[in-house]
Amino acid sequence: MLTYNLHKHFKLRGVSSPAVFLMQNGFNKQTAYRVANNKFSSLSAKHIEKLCLALNCTPNDLMEWEPEKNIENPEKHSLNKLRLTQAADLRNFASDIPFDKMGEFAAEIEAVKKKMRNEA
């Protein structure tokens, strides 16, 4: 079954008020509250594009797939790429790094970001 995983994206991006975030990114109040509270049955392509632009992701990133029990070898199916994976909560990711190592940690993250920009 395909579902949207928007709350994971909001959490990873440090969005504490998804409805406000959505309104700041072009959603009207009613749609923002429905999306933020997962009270929608579908999203238009226009809304998916707005979400992707706001969250810096692709439409595939917004969805998860949990195979039905009757599907044989789900790990071999193309939809398997959409299975839920655990991502780090970046707000708390560095909480156990000693203060004197924070500069080094930040430099490593900047190097990874630079590499990702160059690969894009």
**pLDDT given for residue 80 in this prediction:** 66
pLDDT of residue 20: 97
Weakest mean pLDDT among 34-38, 46-50, 79-83: 79-83
**Which position has the higher pLDDT, 84 or 5?**
5
pLDDT for 52-78, tens place per residue? Answer: 999 988 888 888 877 777 777 667 666
Question: Where do the H-state alpha helices sit in the chain?
Answer: 6-12, 18-24, 29-36, 45-55, 102-119
Domain ranges for the chain: 2-87, 89-120
The dihedral of CA 23, 47, 52, 42: what is its sign? positive
- Which residue type, as a one-letter code, is found at position 29? K
3 state DSSP class of 100: helix
pLDDT at 14 over 60: yes
**pLDDT at position 87 over 60:** no
